[in-house]
Amino acid sequence: MGEYRRKRQRQFGQELKNLRSEAGMSGREAAELAGTDQSTISRVENGHIRPSHELLTRLLTTYGATAAIKEGLASELTELDVGVSSWRWLEERKGPRQIYVRDLEREALRRRGYHLDVIPGLLQTAAYAEEVIRASPTITPEQVSEGIALRMERQNILFEKQRSFSFVITEYALRRPFGTSETMRTQYERLLHLGTYPTIGLMVIPLWVPHPVLPHGFTIFDDSYVYIDTVTKPVNVIETPEVKSYISIYEDLVETALPETESLELIAALAKDTD
């Protein structure tokens, strides 16, 4: 996201904060009345995320905003939504989207993800990442090197002890070939190494285990935000009931997956098969 759009989003959040203050409400009170949580209120007001139009309407109603203010802020939110979508898809594409994800990862202490078709970017080797990025229909050859560099930079966060990471990965994603057999073998070895860290949990859903059929993977940041990547633009879920639904689905997937020790054994077997 360009600095201009970041500034507009921060200003939008500040306007909502001012309205809340004028209404004499704390963040907790506003969250309870608007049917969301205090973390979401804080992230919106600090400009870290944009509210849905539904949440914006509830907040403005809670604050007693006038019809003119409601109309003006709704229009501003629409412009921000369209602008950010255009930025991601038409202007800069792969690099900025990774920067956006990187910023989400830095803000959260807990990250949980379900990955059904590709090994997640935080766990990829550079060689595997290159093949994945090249396979993207939205990437030009000139953007590949930048994409790899950003992906490797994002991985530094894995080794910060105050954070925790949990990945549920389908066996299909593990077996899906990218590059040579050597590329896959080193990728499996990378997973086995990362699986030794106490802050990183790796769980695999085997091909033979029935599990919920989902149209996409997703990532949960703390307990307040869900990020879903799509071809055209990301989808951000911040509504409390929906976030809770994703958390429940993730917990079901964890129950379905192999325990961590058995998951690492499966990955080790895949690595051996590439020899």
Whether the pLDDT of residue 84 is over 50: the answer is no
In the numeric block, which tokens belong to residue 6?
């970041």
* Residues in a beta bridge with 218: 114
- 263 and 161 belong to one structural domain: yes
- 75 and 179 belong to one structural domain: no
23, part of any domain: yes
Number of domains making up the chain = 2
What is residue 3's predicted lDDT score, i.e. its pLDDT?
55
Domain span holding position 83: 3-91
Do 110 and 163 form a contact (C-beta atoms < 8 A)?
yes
- 113 and 87 belong to one structural domain: no
- 115 and 247 belong to one structural domain: yes
What is residue 12's predicted lDDT score, i.e. its pLDDT?
85
pTM metric for this prediction? 0.69
Q: What is the pLDDT of residues 210-263, one digit of tens each?
A: 888 888 999 999 888 899 887 777 787 877 788 899 999 999 999 999 999 999
Whether the pLDDT of residue 202 is over 80: the answer is yes
24, part of any domain: yes
Q: Which pLDDT band holds residue 68 (cuts at 50, 70, 90)?
A: confident
What is the C-alpha to C-alpha distance for residues 104 and 111, in angstroms, rounded to an integer? 10
- 9 and 58 belong to one structural domain: yes
- 119 and 25 belong to one structural domain: no
Q: Which pLDDT band holds residue 89 (cuts at 50, 70, 90)?
A: very low
- 117 and 245 belong to one structural domain: yes
What is residue 95's predicted lDDT score, i.e. its pLDDT?
47
In the numeric block, which tokens belong to residue 198?
């106490």
Mean pLDDT taken over the chain:
86
What is the C-alpha to C-alpha distance for residues 150 and 67, in angstroms, rounded to an integer? 44
- 165 and 269 belong to one structural domain: yes
131, part of any domain: no
99, part of any domain: no
139, part of any domain: no
- 172 and 220 belong to one structural domain: yes
- 172 and 267 belong to one structural domain: yes
Q: What is the pLDDT of residues 116-154, one digit of tens each?
A: 999 999 999 999 999 998 888 777 788 888 888 888 888
What is the C-alpha to C-alpha distance for residues 247 and 218, in angstroms, rounded to an integer? 10
73, part of any domain: yes
Whether the pLDDT of residue 6 is over 80: the answer is no
141, part of any domain: no
CATH number of the domain at 41, please: 1.10.260.40
- 245 and 114 belong to one structural domain: yes
86, part of any domain: yes
Name the percent of the chain lying above pLDDT 90.
54
- 51 and 114 belong to one structural domain: no
CATH number of the domain at 243, please: 3.30.870.10
